[in-house]
Amino acid sequence: MKKSLKALLNALDKVAEDFEEVTDTDVREQMRDAVENALLAPVSGYQLPDEFGMFEAKGNAKVKAALAKFIAAAQVEADAAGLKTRADRLRAFQDIDVESRDGNTYDEYFGYDDSLDQA
Domain boundaries defined on the chain: 2-110
119 residues of the chain, pLDDT tens digit each: 999 999 999 999 999 999 999 999 999 999 999 999 999 999 999 999 999 999 999 999 999 999 999 999 999 999 999 999 999 999 999 999 999 999 999 999 999 999 988 75
Reported for 101-104, long-range contacts at CB under 8 A and 24+ positions apart, including other chains, are: 101/10, 101/13, 102/13, 104/9, 104/12, 104/13
Residues 6+ apart with CB under 8 A from 24: 53
DSSP conformation class of 101:
T
The model's pTM is: 0.95
* Other beta carbons less than 10 A from residue 59's beta carbon: 21
